[in-house]
Amino acid sequence: MPVSKSKRSRYTPPAPKNLPPSPLWVPASMFTLLLTGTVVIVLNYLGILPGDAQNSYLVLGIAQITAGFVLATRFR
């Protein structure tokens, strides 16, 4: 005889693990990378960096911002 839906056991997810908070260097370096990446891009567009506006400065700024976002995913 089939078991009714109310008698079936429901899936209960495992309890979340209590992870320790992030070390202080994680948010500090995250904000530093985000800020310096933004500053590099703005200074490149203003032409203040040596060699006028170059794509390599844009790549450097975007790489710093991306690294900041990667650290943001590790922040607890």
User: At 71, is the pLDDT very low, low, confident or very high (cuts 50, 70, 90)?
Assistant: very high
- Compute how many other C-beta atoms are within 10 angstroms of the C-beta atom of residue 40: 20
Half-sphere exposure of residue 67: CA atoms within 13 angstroms, side-chain side:
17
Q: What is the pLDDT of residue 42?
A: 95
Task: Compute the mean pLDDT over every residue in the chain, rounded to the nearest whole number.
Answer: 89
- In the chain, where are the structural domains located? 22-74
One-letter amino acid for residue 9 of the chain: S
